[in-house]
Amino acid sequence: MTEPQTANQTQIEGWNEGVGKTWVRFQAELDRQLEPIGAGALRAAALQLGQTVLDVGCGAGATTVEVASAVGRDGVVIGVDPSQPLLAVARARPVPYEAGQITFLAADAQTFGFEPQGFDAVVSRFGVMFFDDPGAAFANLRAGTKPGGRLAFCCWRGMEENPWMTLPLTAAASLVSAPAPSAPDAPGPFAFADPSRVRAVLTAGGWRDIALETFDTRIGGGDLDESARLMTRVGPLGAALREAQADKALIAQAEAAVRAAIEPYATPGGVLIPSATWIVTASA
């Protein structure tokens, strides 16, 4: 394996290629799945009319548009993300007439030179766990935030607390091996599972009044077929199948195994599986 040449190179390549393209394909399903958690993070941000807000790792832009609605016509939102395919979806999103001005910026939030003290708030739905140097990234975000400005984001707690991730892996265990566990502080979905690490990273970045609240909710909402398809394309099982370069037949077998395993979670509102996240807040 070659060493990354620039900050966050491995993650940025992934979000422009395999995982990024998968997120584009399943954008509607992922938005439905993540909406309740993102809404929790935006509530914690306590946004006000007329504010200037940064949405970090905005991806396909669902939260960016929600923020634009919250800050109204005198407000401004910048969605920053290095993934060109996801930004293309974001830029094509309809925006309500009364929403604030939106700019989507193709950049790395760890290193981009934001205008100093320009943001009233910095928000993110699962877009801040992918930095090689999270202390430097959060220092950069704080430098772009007005004194007293608010930070609010959501991130996953441990995989073992998130059955929507472990269930598919267990169901398909005889077909594909789980990805080798990454180091707990490696960039990735679980990089901020440990609350003491989150506090240390934010403190290193110069943030104050750091608070972590547990947020537990059932997520999903698709029917059995849609949910089984989604769970074999994203999350740890999706990653394992991509890594194993699984062919269509193997993916179909995994999908059938996942479908059987999630059947007990089917409700009239679709398949709903417990999830466990942190809602993190701080001030600049």
User: Which residues would be at the binding site for ligand SAM (CB under 6 A)?
Assistant: 8, 11, 15, 30, 34, 38, 56-60, 62-63, 80-83, 86, 108-110, 125-127, 130-131
Q: How far apart are CA 230 and CA 27, in angstroms?
A: 10
Between residues 19 and 257, which has the closer beta carbon with respect to ligand SAM?
19
Quote the least distance from Cβ 260 to ligand SAM, whole Å: 27
Between residues 57 and 238, which has the closer beta carbon with respect to ligand SAM?
57
Between residues 131 and 207, which has the closer beta carbon with respect to ligand SAM?
131
Q: How far apart are CA 202 and CA 206, in angstroms?
A: 6
Between residues 127 and 220, which has the closer beta carbon with respect to ligand SAM?
127
User: What DSSP string describes 156-198?
Assistant: E--GGG-HHHHHHHHHTTTTSPPPPPPPTTSSSTTTT-SHHHH
Quote the least distance from Cβ 229 to ligand SAM, whole Å: 18
CA 34 to chain centre: 8
Quote the least distance from Cβ 114 to ligand SAM, whole Å: 12
Between residues 15 and 192, which has the closer beta carbon with respect to ligand SAM?
15
> Which H or E element spans position 68?
helix 62-71
Quote the least distance from Cβ 81 to ligand SAM, whole Å: 5
Which residues is 119 bridged to in the sheet? 145
Quote the least distance from Cβ 209 to ligand SAM, whole Å: 23
Task: Report in angstroms the alpha-carbon separations of 194 from 105, 134, 157, 162.
Answer: 30, 14, 7, 14
- The length of the chain in residues reads 284
Residue 63, Cβ neighbours under 10 Å: how many? Answer: 32
